[in-house]
Amino acid sequence: MGAASNSRATSPSGAITILGRSPATLAMLLESLRCQQPHSPPAVRVVANVVPDDPLRFDAPGISVTECDHESWAVDGRPGLASGVLCGVYRPAIKQAVVAFFRDRHGVKTDDYASCLHPTAVPASSATLGPGCQVEPLAAIAPHATLGEFVTVNRQASIGHHTHVGAFSTLNPGVNVAGHCDLGDGVTVGMGSNIVDGIRIGAGAVIGAGALVTRDVPAGALVMGVPARVREQGS
């Protein structure tokens, strides 16, 4: 689902399986799937690793959604796995936990995941996406940018040329990351933040909403403000 990618594209004609159950993420994924196939929306199976307790809706018009627990999915022969499953959660730590759960309990490998790009997303032909990425409406990925596995790029976010975004990172809506940046694994970039050219951000760092990052950020740090300053330092 999408351009230049190292990950498997899910079948446009078969049922689609999503592992993990975050209503916000599911709503975004289903809308992307609906827009990709407006005349024949896919059937979607959501497999929960824990008993869901969130009442929020996540359905999309025309898409048939069924839910099951992970044990029932395994008993049924893990349907959908051969076509490439999608990751249905959002925050970096939760993505890591869900991917580890289905790997350890059900043998789902990283390469079994597909990526999902909204039709209005604009990835350059030379950009590279790892397995399990999610790219939302009007997001832009510049030439020679690379996204590690399970990266989420929310709506209207942009990633500059020759920038690398590490595995499991999440870029919230309206984020702008300039060129030649290097974001470590599990980084969270808050809504509307701006990261200038050539910045390195350590693994697990959190960039507060609206921040302007003009200097490197240590691993595990929380930075906020304009310009951004370290508010908490990771251990």
How far CA 184 is from CA of 52, 125, 205, in Å, comes to: 31, 23, 8
Which are the catalytic amino acids?
161
Q: Which of 56, 16, 21 is nearest to 40 (CA)?
A: 16
Residue 214 identity (one-letter amino acid): T
Secondary structure of residue 24 in the 3-state scheme: helix
Given a contact cutoff of 8 angstroms between Cβ atoms, the answer to whether 52 and 70 are in contact is no
| Secondary structure percentages of the chain, helix, strand, coil, to 5 | 15, 25, 55
Q: What is the distance of C-alpha 233 from the center of its chain?
A: 25
- The answer to whether the beta carbons of residues 49 and 70 sit under 8 Å apart is yes
| Strands of 200-201's sheet in order across | 128-129, 146-147, 164-165, 182-183, 200-201
